[in-house]
Chain A
């Protein structure tokens, strides 16, 4: 079946630092890829997505590029803020199967002022 692997953290950075959270996937065919964010006490929010190879998703300063060759979808942000502290989930969806969205374990990001 499908699987998604991401660094679990916690990842602790200082404000204005550069962020990379790695995500790799295994799937049949060419899945759609997503990054979701979960702030404390809240549900999941879609951060960005990409539906085909070489697509770049972007939102709120975050970016991720769908790399078919390396089966990766790494999340990046040039300058993080304290308000970015949250848990970030990478997910894939192949469609038509029994898996629904397949999530990584989540990466807890802590930004210190």
Chain B
């Protein structure tokens, strides 16, 4: 069974631009969660989608948004990029809602904002 895939793996953007990251969950998984990993703040929860609905949202500004499609694939969008948005963005999928089921993580997208 294929694991969680994330595209692209690496991305370089400049301040003020916007970016879209993609996550394809394990086949059959309906929940996708997004996390930001930085050296200073560690791993922080962004949001979780289940059956195309946002179920939970972490403490991030509205510049961070996401969506989930009917095939459970998810995208995350960051608008008006800031230097502090440079991070590894991880997505994780699970069969059911996160916490009730094991989450499987993708390799991440490394975003660098110049």
- Where the two chains meet, the residues of A that have a C-beta atom closer than 8 Å to any C-beta of B are 32, 36, 42-46, 49, 89, 91, 93-95, 97-106
Contacts and interface: CB of A to CB of B under 8 A. Distances in A.
A100 B33 contact: yes
A23 to B, nearest CB: 13
B26 interface: no
Contacts, number: 61
Contacts of A104: 42
Given A43-B90, A44-B90, A95-B99, A100 B45 contact: yes
B50 to A, nearest CB: 12
Interface string B76-110: 00000000000000101000011110111111100
Interface residues of B, number: 27
B28 interface: no
A109 B92 CA distance: 24
Nearest to B47: A100
Interface of B: 4, 33, 35, 42-48, 56-59, 90, 92, 97-100, 102-108
Given A43-B90, A46-B102, A101 B107 contact: no
B98 A98 contact: no
B42 A105 contact: yes
Judged by DSSP, the binding face of B is: strand
Contact of A42 (B59, B104, B107): B107
Most buried by A among B43, B44, B98, B100: B43
A3 B79 CA distance: 28
A100 B58 CA distance: 7
Nearest to A41: B107
7 contacts: A43-B90, A43-B107, A89-B43, A93-B99, A95-B100, A98-B56, A101-B99
Contact of A98 (B4, B43, B58): B58
A47 to B, nearest CB: 11
A100 B35 contact: yes
A49 B42 contact: no
A36 B90 CA distance: 13
